[in-house]
Structure 1
């Protein structure tokens, strides 16, 4: 207001003093320029200031850092102990070594090129190499969340997503435990990570972020830059397709191509330490809160929903597997309860932030019973020696959870629905269309991972050979592959 009054005063002065200045053009010009300058200042003062760039909230940053650490805990020691307890004592150390080393290998590859190819704008299947070696990712860099104007530090997102990539590759080794060459596993993981994990992560999770969705035209332009399955509307909150189905198919293909364990059916192959398996399962459950609740990318109500769903679905699945086993086999087992818990964790993963709490319980109850069938009846039908039931739990549970996400995400069933960032409201929900989109995601993942896995195993078999010699297998991989033993008697 004071600028406007100044302008008016100067204009009045010029008007009343015009005759006196008529013979002094230089003075007149100076006054006019002064009036123009004040007028520009007045306009600038009344124009709205540009919105400041979003700054990460320290609470969100801290939460995702904790979640990233929890996902790492899931792998080492969680997954390593869960798998290690399930094999024979002579192979315990080999499984620990495989999970530990695969985690380390994928971590380095993620920083070198994985993050760039998965989370930069490229085509519908791959990003670019613009962030090779994390080029341009600094302490000032930010990444989008699922709320407009809310960001987190990009380096934290790099760690969080890298931990996902590493545990996914670690899951695969359970399918061919006790018989695969260590070098073959490492080379296979490099190929599979590059051509299956990275494109699946890009297809499902890459998008421009909510701030790009200003209006319908902007939303259409932003949507065209997203990953293939994101464009088709497939929902995967924390990795039902990207992580579990992807890894399970790779494991199943490996079980077929590497062949059955020597002596299967005639030699005792019972788990050597269900104590370790129970500890591993418990660490997986604990770490999975980071896996699912962290996928909200904020310390928010959505993160809390994912956390509660992860809690109750897992408990429901542990109970349903245990009681079903009790009914059909006469006794409830620790292995059954632990396996049921993992099946619930897997099934709730794609749905965690989209379904209501009661939907999560139903999903968990179904997962326990259906995955029990997956590791018994379905396993016999498939005829593969999937040593630690990677497909029966992660494949079956992942498929179940991914498809039923389309059902239980319906707001009419307590779900969150799908958010429309243009309208800034939950969109009308079409359950049939969403289930179809979910099924497309599942089928795409099965085919993609299956083809990549088959080619990768073939290449490795030609160059290195997939399987250890029979005498090494009989003696145990701890000594023959690593020259060490998990136990000394």
Structure 2
């Protein structure tokens, strides 16, 4: 064991945990004032449910055994898990590895909720979270990182392109289609109601992403440094590119647009962070931006699905582009297309993406249909019309949505 590596992975674990409150603020700031609190709550509840499921059986199913598609129950309730040595040929104990990987599961679930905020039945969501974690996330984590079929094939996913972003984006889209569109749905982007929360949330996400990607080296070494550099420079390149495109289109220098670009850059570099050079990371940030910027609105307009906060658009599309670009730009040691001239790695990446999409979409559909046999997936129309924050939560992230505040404003006007 290496004490420096242990300190680094525990610090990275804390950084990844911080990403979920960051996502809650980012989502909540972007959300309509009628469901901003609901948006934050659905991310926060993941902080409670997911770690419990992860300790009970999630980690064991993801990282125990030698199965091609899923693990076993050898580490049920962390039974037999070592706190002072590694069975994975790492310099950190298995327990530290378990902690770090568990934080990825939390943020993945939180991302999904952004597609259905404001209209999904809370009881249905509370059932969906553990079922999805067990039936979608753990098999994917095992196949990609736990010795399963995709890892054996040589699929490259440094920190969660397939496991986190594509799976959450595709699952969010599938769930959004099952739940249905919002009342008075429009494909026009909602104006953010709380720019302070958007800024704070995006900053926490960017900050936490350093642990997300750099921590995935599982050691204090050159790969960790490379991943740290690539994470920052890809986000910076995408932020700048997104701002330029949006400024040309709208003639407005929008904070929310620039920060959205940084998020896309963080997503695209995730599968490649330790496999590409900084120059390639810059190119990846530039390439992904116009694809996501224009494709998100085009698809929502053409197919009229309601991906409320663009979980599919940013994470699904961004993750798919990231997986493909990883194959193109990976260094020679990782058989990149440009460095070797061989298309083999591209084929492997595409197959991994297809498997991820099929598993995420198919299982999410089945889970949603199963839950709907017992509980409606959608809240009643009257609650949605009046605002789920008012009807269900009684708390308000945006002060301008508070009935008490509105009453105070009306009273002042009458003076």
Q: TM-score range by the shorter chain?
A: over 0.9
- Which deviates more, 95-104 or 464-473? 95-104
SS of the residue 1:152 aligns to = coil
What is aligned with 1:422? Answer: none
8 Å CA contact 2:169–2:315 kept in 1: the answer is yes
Pairing 1:445–2:389 present? no
Match of residue 19 from structure 2: 74
C-alpha displacement at 1:140, in angstroms? 2.3
Q: CA deviation at 1:367?
A: 1.6
Between structure 1 and structure 2, the one with the greater Rg is: 1
- Point out the more displaced range, 376-385 or 291-300: 376-385
Deviations 1:40-76 (A, max 9, x none): xxxxxxxxxxxxxxxx100000000000000000012
Q: Which residue of the other structure, out of 390, 395, 399, is the alignment partner of 2:311?
A: 390
Q: What is the correspondence of 1:7-406 to structure 2 with a 5 Å cutoff?
A: 56-76=1-21, 78-144=22-88, 150-206=90-146, 226-265=147-186, 269-406=190-327
1:375-395 deviations in Å (ceiling 9; x for gaps): 212222232110001111101
TM-score of the superposed pair, with normalisation by structure 1: 0.79
TM-score between the two structures when normalised by the length of structure 2: 0.92
- Tell me how far 1:266 sits from its aligned partner: 10
Q: Match of 1:262, SS?
A: coil
**Alignment deviations for residues 12-43 of structure 1 (CA, whole Å, 9 cap, x no partner):** xxxxxxxxxxxxxxxxxxxxxxxxxxxxxxxx
Instruction: Return the match for 1:479 from 390, 393, 398.
Output: 390
Deviation at 1:461, TM superposition (A): 1.5
Structure 2 Cα separation of the partners of residues 392 and 268 of structure 1: 12
What is aligned with 1:219? Answer: none
Q: Is the Cα contact below 8 Å between 1:116 and 1:134 reproduced in 2?
A: yes
1:358 aligned counterpart, secondary structure = helix
- Contact 2:210–2:228 (8 Å) recurs in 1: yes
Q: Which of 366, 381, 386 is the matching residue for 1:455?
A: 366
Q: Give distance in 2, aligned partners of 1:391 and 1:357.
A: 27
1:432 aligns with 2:343: yes
Whether contact under 8 Å (2:277, 2:331) holds in the other structure is no
Secondary structure of the equivalent of 1:260?
coil
Q: State whether residues 335 and 342 of structure 2, in contact with CA within 8 Å, keep that contact through their aligned partners in structure 1.
A: no
In the TM superposition, residue 289 of structure 1 has moved relative to its aligned partner by: 0.3
Deviations 1:105-152 (A, max 9, x none): 01110000000010012310111100000001132242435xxxx421
The count of corresponding residues between Structure 1 and Structure 2 is 398
In structure 2, the residue matched to 1:5 is none
Post-superposition Cα deviations, 1:139-168, rounded to whole Å, max 9, x if no partner, equal 2242435xxxx4211111111000001110
Specify whether residues 336 and 128 from structure 1 end up closer, same or farther in structure 2 by C-alpha distance, changes over 3 A only: same
Structure 1 range deviating more: 235-244 or 265-274? 265-274
Gaps of 5+ in 2: 406-415
Alpha carbons 1:102, 1:186 under 8 Å: kept: no
The whole-number CA distance in structure 1 between the counterparts of 2:122 and 2:137 is 20
Deviation, structure 1 residue 271: 2.2
Matches of 1:116 and 1:362, distance apart in 2: 38
Maintained 8 Å contact 1:143/1:151: no
Let me know the Cα RMSD of the aligned residues. 1.8
Question: Whose RCO is larger (CA < 8 A, sep 6+)?
Answer: 2
CA contact (8 A) 1:410 1:431 kept: no
Aligned-partner Cα distance in 1 for 2:65–2:98: 15
Matched residues in 2 for 1:139 and 1:105: separation? 23
